[in-house]
Structure formats: structure tokens, C-alpha cells
Amino acid sequence: MNARQATARTAPDARGGAIPTHARDNAAGPSAAVPPTIEVRGLSKTYRSKREGTVLALDDISFTVEEGEFVCIVGPSGCGKSTLLKILAGIVAHSVGTVAVRGKPPSDAQNRLGLVFQAPVLLPWRTVLQNTLLPAQVLGLDPKAAEARAHDLLRMVGLEQFASSYPNELSGGMQQRCSITRALLHDPSILLMDEPFGALDAMTRDTMNLELQRIWRESGKTIFLITHSIPEAVFLADRVLVMSARPGRIVEEIKVDLPRPRDLDTMSEPAFAEAVRHIRGLFGIGGKERPHVD
């Protein structure tokens, strides 16, 4: 792997002055060695299907995500990004290698995880509020406190007026925003997000990017986010992992040193443009029209 930067632990003040609380799940005390929040070593995944036979989706993936870090992953369609996220969530089994979340198998960490899938997967017979409250029921949270928090989250994503609506009454982007409130309800310390803003219009997407940065800065969550958008990855991340086409490998890690908090003006800065250009270059996207050749 051609890692541009090592996986340096994110300094708390790198968030732009917020005081992170991300040590809260590591109750062992300051002297104890803290394992990376996510540690993946030599991971490969082979799917077996009747029609295609065996498909090597991920090949020899290794990386770590440190406590409180914001890591984005970009890669071409079909390179195994969703597969990787499902393995981290303990939903899909890997074939080779090791995966640990806070030093344990992912299935042991599920109540600390908030998951946003590529498709919203809301329950059609439950309202927006009831979908948001799903983790409260599963994890046995105090119903009154959970409902107050659900309303706060729905307000945050602009869905408060739709609390009593059913998923089929919402646009795709609204459904995805509801899946984000559901993922945040139990205040998980690790967020795994698969293309969370892919279905949103450009303006809502900008707003959600700023909101997610605020949540991360204020809460100290560790965030692992998949996106197709290179500018979005550079805007949000401390570190961007770039994947190759299938079978997915990590071809480069890019540390993003832009100061926090970032705002939409950050996207006009030369360092931002340079990082985006560099990643586009890895995918062979030069930004110029190719000459027509007959």
C-alpha cells in the first residue's frame, strides 16, 4: 500500500476546539493500551453465488480507524465498499483475515454502532417517528427520553413535520434522512455510514455534511463513511481511504489536514482542490475532455 500518511491518532483539538468525549467507552483508564476502534488486517471476502460462481469482492484489506477519527472511503461502483461496511457491522462474514471493533468481533459491538445503509430500509408499517424509535425498543431505552431525542433528531434533519408520515409518503432523500435519525437515536459512539447522502439534492447534502461534522465535533463519535463523492470525502474526513476496482484493495490513504471546523468556503481553498485532484488522478479522471478518436 502506498500510504501517503501513517494512521496518526486524531488530536482532540483537530476538531476545531470541541472537547471530545470519545474515550467514554474505554473505561480501562488512561494508562491502559486502547485498541484502535476499528482494526482490519489482511481481510478478503469471497461471495459464492449460483450464477456467477465465486466472486472475490475484497482482497487483502488492512487499515485502522482510531478512536474519534472521521474516515471516508471512496472507490468505484462494485469494488466492495458496502461489503466492507457490512463486515464491520457484523452482518456479513469475511472469508480471510481479522476484523475487530474495539478489540472484539464486530458482533459484540452492535449496541455501540449506528448503521446507515445505502438504501434506507425503513419499516413500511411504521411512521417516521416509530422508525426513528426502533433502536429504543431493541435496546430497551427509556421511552420518554427516546421520544424527546427522536423529535430533536427529526427537527435536525428537517423531518419534524413528517413524524406521523409513513415511508411511502416520503421522497427517497427524506427516507434516507429518517434512516439517519434512526442510526443516531441511541447515541452510538461509532457510526458506519454507506452513501448516507447519495439520494439527497445538492443543497440538502451540503447542509447534512455540515450537520454531520458538527455532530462529530461535539460528540466525539468515530465515523466511517462511504461515499461516491470525492469532494464530500475530502470535506468530511481526517483520512480518505481510496479503493481500487473489484476486487477491492486499498490503494492509498490520504490524510486531510484542512483546519476544522470546515465550512463551504473550505471547498474553495487550494489545499482542498489539490486533495480532490490527487484522488481523481488515482481513478484516472483528469478533468479534461478526451479528444475524439475515430
Residues that bind ligand ATP (CB under 6 A): 47, 49, 55, 57, 75, 77-83, 118, 246
Q: List, in sequence order, the alpha helices (H) in the chain.
A: 81-88, 128-132, 134-139, 143-156, 172-184, 202-219, 230-236, 270-282
Is residue 82 near Mg ion by the rule CB under 5 A?
A: yes
Identity of the residue, 57 or 237, whose beta carbon is nearer to ligand ATP in the bound complex: 57
Shortest Cβ 198–ligand ATP spacing (Å): 9
Shortest Cβ 227–ligand ATP spacing (Å): 10
Is residue 204 near Mg ion by the rule CB under 5 A?
A: no
What does residue 178 show for φ and ψ, rounded to 5 degrees?
-65, -35
Given a contact cutoff of 8 angstroms between Cβ atoms, the answer to whether 72 and 238 are in contact is: no
Is residue 26 near Mg ion by the rule CB under 5 A?
A: no
Q: How far are the Cα atoms of 43, 74, 78, 126, 266 from residue 259, in angstroms, in the given order?
A: 32, 21, 32, 41, 9
Is residue 229 near Mg ion by the rule CB under 5 A?
A: no
Q: How far are the Cα atoms of 165, 170, 199 from residue 126, in angstroms, in the given order?
A: 9, 13, 21
Identity of the residue, 86 or 149, whose beta carbon is nearer to ligand ATP in the bound complex: 86
Identity of the residue, 38 or 129, whose beta carbon is nearer to ligand ATP in the bound complex: 38
Stretch 111-170 residues interacting with Mg ion (CB under 5 A): 118
- Cα separation, 6 vs 4, in Å, equals 7
Number of residues located near Mg ion, criterion CB under 5 A: 2
Identity of the residue, 21 or 118, whose beta carbon is nearer to ligand ATP in the bound complex: 118
Region near Mg ion per CB under 5 A, out of 81-89, 95-103, 129-137, 283-291: 81-89
State the DSSP string of 107-142: GGGGGGEEEE-SS----TTS-HHHHHTHHHHHHT--
Given a contact cutoff of 8 angstroms between Cβ atoms, the answer to whether 209 and 242 are in contact is: no
Identity of the residue, 56 or 258, whose beta carbon is nearer to ligand ATP in the bound complex: 56
For Mg ion, the binding residues (CB under 5 A) are: 82, 118
